Every structure is written in structure tokens, then in C-alpha cells.
Amino acid sequence: MDVKRIDVVVIGAGQAGLTASHHLQRTGIEHVVLDRGDGPGGAWRHRWPSLRLGGVHGIHDLPGSPLPETDGARPAADVIVDYFGRYEHDRQLPVLRPVKVDAVRDGGERLLVDSSAGTWAARAVLNATGTWDNPFWPHYPGRHLFTGRQLHTADYRDPQEFRGQHVVVVGGGISAVEHLLEISEVATTTWVTRRPPRFTTGQFDGRAAVAEVERRVRVGLPPGSVVSATGLPGTPAVRAAQQRGVLDRQPMFARITSTGVVWADGRAQRADVILWATGFRPAIAHLAPLHLREAGGGIRVEGTRVVAEPRLHLVGYGPSASTIGASRAGRAAVHEIRILLRGDQERLK
Ligand code: FAD
């Protein structure tokens, strides 16, 4: 078997992977970035066309290259695909795609990265695979009985698909609110969440929430959602929708029937569509051979370094799962990897 030897493999070419690649390149560390996407953009490549740049919370710049001034009405996906594509091209970052990583294994002195383009033997691995490839569908009784359409945020394209229908939107995060604002213009909706949503009135401040997620991953718990701790931004569009009654939330239903949903008290709602805006989980199935999960169900991470496998860093994971967090984490991870590789060299002398 042809095994390619290299210092560092970065898995994923989203915000986190490109930032890491930039810092590795600047530091002169030989590396390759393996990305399963058909083209640049990371998860943004797949965001629904009606998600406009002006409607997202703000996208942090890639290092050394500000996001160009652009019309806020352009689809965020198009803007970011162009921006990331130019960044990779202009800096000649060593991105290979489409290359899907299937497994990372412990090969003794090196970590072995098995992919659709062969195996790399690396001294360190930076995992930057985000969450988009792992949509979370919770289990509710009767889900398989429903004869209407069920889809996840990951499949959502255009509100016009639901014109004239009744859509039950499940989930208490920002994606659910975005879907409701759009769909309610062309269809009737019901919003269900597990907990009452909390809308913030002031400036959106994620610091406390990020600190909580940081605490969770340090003790090996699953990261959890940043929004559950920050609350939902109460933008003018949200306030207008509240006045229209669109954001009158119902508690979670107890079960699903062939024609809709039923609550514990017997109330029922007919539905044509159930849209699961129930979030994403880290896309890290390929790390399973390393057996990193702790008793709490998560991976213990200090900064970006995996405690049980210090040659592996997770960037864009937990507290760094935002464009600003991913950028900072990419830089911090490369700093640590540089020290790790230098230590290796000393040991081998
Ligand atoms: P991604 O962008 O997901 O990139 C991961 C890359 O890894 C992808 O290219 C993928 O193809 C590749 N990959 C995955 N698995 C493999 C594998 N096995 N082998 C090879 N390649 C693989 N954050 C903000 O800061 N501001 C916002 O406004 C904002 N809006 C958002 C809106 C929505 C609807 C969602 C869902 C998220 C939003 N976020 C926002 C969060 C933000 O998108 C992410 O935190 C950030 O873009 C993730 O960057 P990343 O590099 O970690 O991952």
C-alpha cells in the first residue's frame, strides 16, 4: 500500500481548516488539506440560497484577507464560496478535493489518515470537519408513520417549496427562527421547542456561552449548543414576526401520526411537512478508531489539543464552532503543533 509521509494533515477546508493551513504555511510546516467538498466554501457551500449575507450574524475574516465589501442581498453561500476559493488559490494552499477521510488510526510513531485518495502517515493531524455533515434527527414516536414530508435544516433550500402547506418547525435555535420567518410568508406554521425560547434584547454577546461550552469539553462532555446559553438575537425581523404571531411557540409534541403531531394532552395539529431544525453534531465519525470518547460522551479537549491523543487537535469544535472561534483555534493549534514537531525533532537527535 502506498503510504504518503507528511508532517501534518488538516482534515476539512472550511474556516477552521483554511486558517490552520495559512498558519502552517507561514510557519513553513509541510502539510496537506483534505476536503470532501466538490469545491471551496466549507459548510457555507451548502447553505440555502435565501440565506443572505446581510441576514447572518457576521462572518469573521480569514487571516490576512478581509471579506470584501459586498451587497448584503447576495446569498451568503455564493459570497463565501468566492471568498474561500480566491483565498485558497491566491495563497496556493495545498487543498486536495474531493477527498473524504474515512478513518484516523494510531500507527505508532505517526497517525495514519485513510482517505478516498489513499493513506497519509502524519506526525500531527488537525481535524476541522465542522458539523454540517452530521445533521441531528431526534427520535420521537411515530416518526416513520408520517405520510407528509420530513426534512432537516441541512436539506432546506427555498420557502417556496412549502407554499400553501402547513409546516411544523421543530427546534429552538437560530436556524428554526430563520426558517419560520421565511416560511410564514407563504405557508402556515407551528413552532415547537423543548424549552421556551429566550430572545435577547441587547447586543448579542456570546462570551458567557462560549465559556460554558469550553468548560464542557474540558471535562469530556459533548459540547452542547452555544445558542442554548446565549439566547436568540431579537432582531427587528424577529420582533415583526412576533407581532404577526409567527413565533408563538408550542411545547414539544409527544408523538407523530400519519397526518401530523399530537401533544401529551391530546391536542393535535395536522401537518404537510415537519422541518427538523434540530441542529448538528460534530462530524467526527472518522476519529472512532482512536477511541477518544470519555465516559461523559464527549472528547476531552484542552484548548484544541485532544487530551488522550496530543498529536490530534480539534479546531472548530465546541467553543470554537463559529467563524471567529474557528479562526482563533486554527492559529492556536498551529502554535502547539509547531512545539510538538520541534519536540519530536529534539527527541530524534
Ligand atoms: P465547515 O465550514 O463545516 O467545514 C468543514 C469542512 O470539512 C467541509 O468542507 C467538509 O466538506 C469537510 N469535511 C467534513 N468531513 C470530512 C471528512 N470526513 N473528510 C474530508 N473532509 C471533510 N458562524 C458565524 O461565525 N457566523 C454566522 O453568521 C454563522 N451562521 C451560521 C448559519 C448556519 C445556518 C449554520 C448551520 C452555522 C452558522 N455559523 C455561523 C456557524 C459556522 O458556520 C461554523 O461555525 C463555521 O463556518 C464552521 O467552520 P468549520 O471550518 O469549522 O467547518
**Number of neighbours of residue 295 by Cβ within 10 angstroms:** 7
Instruction: Please state whether the predicted TM-score (pTM) of the whole model is above 0.80.
Output: yes
Q: Is 33 exposed, middle or buried (0-12, 13-18, 19+ CB in 10 A)?
A: buried
Ligand 1: which of 19, 34, 56 to mutate, judged by most atoms within 8 Å of the beta carbon?
56
pLDDT digits (tens, 9 = 90+) for 46-96: 988 888 777 666 678 899 998 888 777 788 899 999 999 999 999 999 999
The predicted structure's pLDDT at residue 321: 74
**Using the 8-state DSSP alphabet, how is residue 52 labeled?**
B
Which amino acid is located at 61 in the chain? Answer: D
Ligand 1: which of 9, 10, 15, 324 to mutate, judged by most atoms within 8 Å of the beta carbon?
15
Residue nearest to atom 12 of ligand 1 (CA): 12
Cβ partners under 8 Å of residue 249, min gap 6 = 172, 191, 192, 193, 196, 197
Residue 229 pLDDT > 80, yes or no?
no
The predicted structure's pLDDT at residue 176: 95
Residues with CB under 6 A from ligand 1: 11-17, 34-37, 42-43, 47, 56-60, 100-101, 128-130, 132-133, 175, 283, 286, 316, 321-324, 326
pLDDT digits (tens, 9 = 90+) for 4-57: 999 999 999 999 999 999 999 999 999 999 999 999 999 999 988 888 777 666
Q: Is 119 exposed, middle or buried (0-12, 13-18, 19+ CB in 10 A)?
A: middle
CA of 201 to the centre of ligand 1 (A): 27
Element (H, E) at 123: strand 118-127
* 101 closest CA partner among 13, 41, 213, 229: 13
**Number of neighbours of residue 161 by Cβ within 10 angstroms:** 15
